[in-house]
Every structure is written in structure tokens, then in C-alpha cells.
Amino acid sequence: MREVVFIKKNKSKWQEYEKILGSSDFIKSKDLTHIYIDLTDDLAYANTYFPNSKTTEFLHQLAGEAHRRIYKTKKESVNSIKKFYLDSFPRMFYQYRKYLIVAWIFFIIFSLIGAYSASKDAEYVRLIMGDQYVDMTIANIKKGDPMAVYKSGGELPSFLAITINNIKVAIFAFIYGLFLGLGTLRMLIQNAIMLGAFQYFFYKYGVFWESVRTIWIHGTIEIFSIVVAASAGWVLASGILMPGTYTRKEAFIRKAKDATKIMISTIPFFMIAGFFEGFVTRHTEMPVWLSVLIILLSLILMIYYYFILPKKLITKT
């Protein structure tokens, strides 16, 4: 194709792209990507057949502008995510901190009930955890490696499977808020009783400390995030049960938006917990001081993010 034909065929399109890219209006990422790909295709053709022409120079400049706009859009998107997690969400969450406190009270009470039940009935742990898991763990304890279960499976597959499963549990705890919060309460109780019975099981076999310093490497952030997801479920339920001055529909929509934000806030933490369980927890031979440090820093992170930071931001304004 001759250059004059090439120009005639694409001129109107290039003029439209030039107009779009020269505008200060917002351009959707998918539109920018389409423009950039189309321009680079034309540029590649021009570079091949008309390497020193003004057409090639023009297309090079236009493609460069498209690339710059894509980078700028991505940067703005990253800044929006950063602002959500470090400013807008913590400010919003401040009004719901009491829901998290109540969720923690329930979780701790039923964890103790789980531990107490396990102490009174030797078969209770088997009922909760299953015979296969209990028998395997007892065998590992006898071998002198009580936390061997965390060494099984590949690191990356474990990370992905654990993260996805935890997010699913949290999503259900959140969605069950639609059942007037009772479904959320049921899930919270189930997880709390399971944890209490699980920890008592290791206490009974004399490896309580080994279990704490291993399991809570990932468990600190994981459990905290599940409790946060439960609080999101109750925020959702409050829109139905306590509409206040709004109509029930309006109150539900408002609370549903806030509850969804609370749920979304847990996703990065579930990823961190999944990373710890997949890549770090399995190293049971690590020094005690290191595992304790990870646990303490994880706890400080969660308390700071969900309690201290919201208060700090609200107090500033």
C-alpha cells in the first residue's frame, strides 16, 4: 500500500484519536487500550514501509501520547485504591467499630466454650475436626513434629487455595447478614468453637506452645479478618433491623454499601494471611523470637488499622 493510500484510509480515525487524546476529559481504560493497540499497529506498518516519513513521526507522537494517558490512568487508579484503604475506608469504619467489638466478644466467648466442651468430652474434637485430621495430628505429635500438616503441599498452591477459601468464608459471613444477622452469628460461633476445641486439643497433648507459635503466624490476621467480615454481616443486617430516620429500603441500601466496603477491606489481609500460611508457617524450625515477632506485628497491624487509624483520622478533622 502506498503512503498516500495508507493516509487516506486512516486519516479520519487518526484525527479522532488525536482529538480524544488531546482532551482533558476522562477516558476509560479499555478505550485507551484499544486506541493504543490500534495506533501501534499502524505505527508498525508505517515504520516498515515509510520509516522516514512525517506520517510515521506523527503516529509515533500519537502512540506516545496514548501510552502516557494509559500510564496516568493506571497511576490515578493506584492512588484511588491507596486513598480507599488508608483514608476513606478507615473514616467510614469509625462509626461501625462497635460492631467489631461485639463480634470479638462473641468470638472469644464461644472459643472458650469450644475449649471447655473439648475438655469435658474426649470425642468432641473429633466431632469438630474429623477423625482423619485428629488421627493424623496425633501421629505427628508422636513423631515429634506436631505441626507437620503445615509442611504438606506446595507453597504457591497452598497460598492460593487458603486465600480463596478464607475469602469465601468471609463472604458467606457477610452475606448471611441478610438473614437478620443470625446466619452471620452462626458462622462466627462455628469458627470460634472450632478454634477453641482445636487449641485445647494441642494443650491436652502437651504441645500448646508449639501450636500457638506456629498456627498464629497466619492465624492472627486470618481470624481477625473473619471477625471483621462478621461485623460487616451485622452492619448489613442493621440496615434491615434499624432503619432509623430512613425508609427500610433506603437504610438497607446505605448499610449494604458500607458493609461491602468493610468486606473489601479484608481482602488484602486474607492475602497476607494466605502468604504466611503457604510460605512461612511451614518453617516450624524458625527461631521462637521470630515467630513471636511476626504474631505481635500482625496483631498490632490489625488493631492499628481497624481501631487506632479510624480514630486518628476522625480526630484530625
State pLDDT tens for residues 250-290.
Answer: 999 999 999 999 999 999 999 999 999 999 999 999 999 99
With beta carbons less than 8 A apart as the criterion, state whether 70 and 36 touch: yes
Output the pLDDT for position 18.
Answer: 82
Determine what percent of the chain falls in helix, strand and coil, rounding each to the nearest 5: 85, 0, 15
Mean pLDDT across the chain = 89
pLDDT at 26 exceeding the cut of 90: no
Q: Are residues 192 and 257 in the same domain?
A: yes
The answer to whether residue 143 sits within a structural domain is yes
Q: Which of 82, 116, 140 is the last residue of a domain?
A: 82
Q: Please indicate whether residue 216 or residue 47 has the higher confidence score (pLDDT).
A: 216
The answer to whether residue 222 sits within a structural domain is yes
Output the pLDDT for position 309.
Answer: 95
Q: At what angle do helices 208-241 and 288-303 cross, to 10 degrees?
A: 10
The answer to whether residue 264 sits within a structural domain is yes
Output the pLDDT for position 67.
Answer: 75
Residue numbers of the domain that contains 275: 93-316
Q: Are residues 23 and 113 in the same domain?
A: no
What letter represents residue 39's amino acid? L
pLDDT digits (tens, 9 = 90+) for 194-224: 999 999 999 999 999 999 999 999 999 999 9
Output the pLDDT for position 20.
Answer: 79
pLDDT digits (tens, 9 = 90+) for 164-183: 999 999 999 999 999 999 99
Q: Are residues 161 and 302 in the same domain?
A: yes
Q: Are residues 76 and 121 in the same domain?
A: no
The answer to whether residue 88 sits within a structural domain is no
Q: Are residues 229 and 266 in the same domain?
A: yes
Output the pLDDT for position 84.
Answer: 87
Q: What is the DSSP letter of 25?
A: S
Could you give the number of structural domains in the chain? Answer: 2
Q: Are residues 167 and 308 in the same domain?
A: yes
Residue with cell 468464608: 169
pLDDT digits (tens, 9 = 90+) for 97-156: 999 999 999 999 999 999 999 999 989 999 988 999 999 999 999 999 999 888 888 899
The answer to whether residue 87 sits within a structural domain is no
